[in-house]
Structure 1
């Protein structure tokens, strides 16, 4: 076990081994590998996907787009993710973001409601469309890097790498796996949660993610451990040093603004206030509007009832709300 891994006390050895493989090797591998959709790996079970996984997604459907959108708002702030998004010029304003992420919501919905093994379904077409998009941007970004004849500071190995795909996996289902109750899934069983993980493992294979890097473990607990390690490695320092004037932060604000009519009146700051508590992100979040204060007040009371968060924080928030104080 490497020196860097020893600090992760309480993590299973095989989880740490996979984390180190992702950390040390996946950055060197292009993010889309060739996929054999005829001779599938033995672990892929179409019947399980259709008859076990899809019913679970039908049960938890409301939680998926919101938790994924939160994850995506964090993803776009990563230094190897933001430049490819900016290059596509589909994230330059609120309207562009609305189209991009409405398409994303639609793709995910197709994967969670149809048989992605059947060429006639929207799910099958969606995985092929996403794989093609990733392959295109991978090709273009790396050709541009070659033209400069030197590695970039943020992507010394390859743009749109397998590592980028893994942190993107985290954005889509990491929060759901790590904190299902915080996503509103109070009655989901471990068996059902593992079907969510398995489903995304299958989807990721079809998209072109190498299974040896893919964000899953042999159990729910091991999958949660791996998600925590990926968050600490890729996301934590970015969120703790978050510059509210940076392009990525402003884009996160615009993502929530663009999706208001679809998912409700969330703001990036209100979302951060909620999730930073669970993630242990050491960063002060400043709420500005009465809507943000009100939503946080409601949420903190729910958290107090269901998860036993420190009542001192709840009292402080209640006082801040009544006084109109900006935290």
Structure 2
């Protein structure tokens, strides 16, 4: 009889080593969504709890995902693909790309999940775009999108929530809630073509957290501290593009917080709120950016501990989403009215 792997015999470092060594050589399974089959491990009730967990912490979730998207830009292979496609190489194209990503993601979190649903159509549409980018990259003598690239991208959407919950505003969440959230992204990762052996979302919260922490230590932190010019350029476009959704954003403020977020020392803290942020450690901040950083830091790490503030901040996030869908006034100001209203055909 085949032995079932348990949490006790799981080695997160070996998992990551395999992902980086073998996952970087294997392309994504592009046909999963086409088969219209649910993953064999799919649990409808747990998946729905994962959706509910997102909305319970929607403000913190968006903050975490924003930092996650910044972090994956630092991964050389992912950055190379994004620069090749040119879909986020200006403030405006970054705005279009990432707002459409937000709209797709909202569908995944709020709709009934089954073959033929809007969720399924949205996932197939996103998968198709990945496939197109991968084929174009191959034709131009670049590498195709690999299992490693997709796993790192998966981290961008769930990694900081799992590895740094208190530092991104998710306080007092239970293991059951995290397990449901991880299951949600395990399902999405599967449908995006990530093989089970490379899927960083596992059944155990502990295992998933260990993997995410190792990825932060080995990939994201070393690359972010390098301050590669191409990475900083793409990060600047992302932040300026998404300023239209969250006007408190500024490049140096967010990069300083991201640098604070990926510090390896946070991994060993049981309560990672008990750390101080050095406001000038990554970039020297002027008075206005320093005030922004204080507001962000205090809101995320202090105010969101309290239920009433979580309700207020969540309401503000819903309001931002409504404006982006109906009347993106700041985008009109930044990019003009002609193309600033983003629509996805799902």
Alignment TM class, shorter chain as reference: 0.7 to 0.9
Separation (CA, whole Å) in 1 of partners of 2:191 and 2:245: 28
2:53 maps to: 56
2:225 maps to: 240
Distance 1:295 1:228, change over 3 A: same
Match of residue 84, structure 2, among 71, 75, 87: 87
2:282 maps to: 285
Separation (CA, whole Å) in 2 of partners of 1:302 and 1:110: 27
TM-score by length of 1: 0.78
Whether the 8 Å CA contact 2:28–2:193 is kept in 1: the answer is: yes
Matched, 1:274 2:271: no
1:42 maps to: 40
Shift of 1:300: 5.1
Shift of 1:192: 0.4
Separation (CA, whole Å) in 1 of partners of 2:113 and 2:29: 18
Structure 2: gaps (5+ residues):
1-7, 266-279, 304-346
Question: What is the 5 A alignment of 1:296-311?
Answer: 296-299=293-296
Shift of 1:233: 2.4
Question: What is the 5 A alignment of 1:194-205?
Answer: 194-205=179-190
Matched, 1:127 2:123: yes
Structure 1: gaps (5+ residues):
1-10, 146-151, 153-157, 307-327
Shift of 1:131: 0.8
Question: What is the 5 A alignment of 1:176-187?
Answer: 176-187=161-172
Whether the 8 Å CA contact 2:47–2:184 is kept in 1: the answer is: yes
- Please, what is the CA RMSD of the aligned residues? 2.6
Matched, 1:138 2:121: no
Separation (CA, whole Å) in 2 of partners of 1:76 and 1:142: 20
Distance 1:291 1:125, change over 3 A: farther
Whether the 8 Å CA contact 1:117–1:124 is kept in 2: the answer is: yes
Whether the 8 Å CA contact 2:90–2:237 is kept in 1: the answer is: yes
Question: What is the 5 A alignment of 1:251-262?
Answer: 251-262=234-245
TM-score by length of 2: 0.74
Matched, 1:220 2:205: yes
Whether the 8 Å CA contact 2:72–2:78 is kept in 1: the answer is: yes
Q: 1:248-273: per-residue Cα shift (whole Å, max 9, x none)?
A: 20221121111112123212321232
Q: How many residues align?
A: 282
Whether the 8 Å CA contact 1:97–1:258 is kept in 2: the answer is: yes
Distance 1:279 1:120, change over 3 A: closer
1:71 maps to: 68
Shift of 1:137: 1.2
Separation (CA, whole Å) in 2 of partners of 1:86 and 1:100: 13
**Structure 1 residues 36-45 or 247-256, which shifts more?**
36-45
Whether the 8 Å CA contact 1:240–1:281 is kept in 2: the answer is: no
Whether the 8 Å CA contact 2:39–2:187 is kept in 1: the answer is: no
